[in-house]
Structure 1
Amino acid sequence: MATTNHIMTKWLGNMAFESNNPSGHNFKIDIAKEDGGDSSGFRPKALMLSSLAGCSGLDVASLMKKMKLEVEEFTIETIANLTDEHPKFYDKVVIEYHFHGKNLEEKKLQRAVDLSIEKYCGVMEMFRQFAELDIKTIFHYN
């Protein structure tokens, strides 16, 4: 049987919503004050970028652990271009994987990134359906 996610999102009044998650944690979604909201929660489109980075980051972190790689800091930056016309969507997304450390094994870290991008990350595959992806891996030595 196929796996499904069932999410309930409830209106809290004005422009705010609360959404649940299979993890048992809830979060609030809202829009900016200048758009009529109270700016009390996460923006929906930006959450998509967090989902993309989080999904791929989990893959890479898991592979770093398996390969016993020494990384002091690991960040993922997603810079997305929103179309001008409604419905506005991300048509281009730059994803930068930043690794910081003294003994970075570049080939292995790049392999971890590549495996996430090409094989494991389902959110990445979803983004591929509507956006051009530009992936960069950047190594910072302390």
Structure 2
Amino acid sequence: MKITLERKNTEYLLEAKGVSGNTVMIDHSGMETVQGVSPMELLLMGVGSCSAIDIIAILKKQRQNITSYKVEVTGERYELDDSKPFKSMHVLVKLEGDIHPDKAQKAADLSFAKYCSVSKSFDKCVEITYSIQINKPS
């Protein structure tokens, strides 16, 4: 796996590109005008999207009808020397549709315990918890 980064202005704005050719804009969150997501936001997005792909795939195989899928990922950080790594993350999965609660819970359990490579990458250093809400519009 490989990505490339290219600086797009005279400050911190970067364009990241994957092998697919798709891009993501990344910027310094402390700038007056922020034109992309921060690297730390990208980590939260990675956990949320990786688990979403797993959970949706598992529920589709179980013939569960998902009409809406939303995720909120929150991260708690701590001071470590001159950096602020994540201490913990919580993933809230909001599902709507004809979905059996036990199947949704099992799909999330499988994602976080077995399949989601992004969350598994944090196993030794970040506590990741998750919860499921079904048929509760945001």
TM normalised by structure 1 equals 0.86
Gaps of 5+ in 1: none
Q: Is residue 2:10 matched to residue 1:6?
A: no
- For 2:57, the equivalent position in structure 1 comes to 62
Aligned CA distance change for structure 1 residues 37 and 7 (closer, same or farther; 3 Å)? farther
Task: Please say if residues 104 and 141 of structure 1, whose CA atoms lie closer than 8 Å, have aligned partners that are also in contact.
Answer: no
| Match of residue 16, structure 2, among 5, 15, 19 | 19
Gaps of 5+ in 2: none
What residue identity is the alignment partner of 1:73? Answer: S
What residue identity is the alignment partner of 1:52? Answer: V
Shift of 1:131: 0.9
Shift of 1:36: 3.7
Shift of 1:91: 0.4
- For 2:46, the equivalent position in structure 1 comes to 51
| Match of residue 90, structure 2, among 86, 94, 111 | 94
In the alignment, the residues of structure 2 paired with residue 128 and residue 76 of structure 1 have an alpha-carbon distance, to the nearest angstrom, of 20
Percent of residue pairs bearing the same amino acid type:
22
Task: Please say if residues 94 and 136 of structure 2, whose CA atoms lie closer than 8 Å, have aligned partners that are also in contact.
Answer: no
Question: May I ask how many residue pairs the two structures share in their alignment?
Answer: 135
In the alignment, the residues of structure 2 paired with residue 29 and residue 37 of structure 1 have an alpha-carbon distance, to the nearest angstrom, of 14
SS of residue in 1 equivalent to 2:122: helix
Task: Please say if residues 30 and 37 of structure 1, whose CA atoms lie closer than 8 Å, have aligned partners that are also in contact.
Answer: no
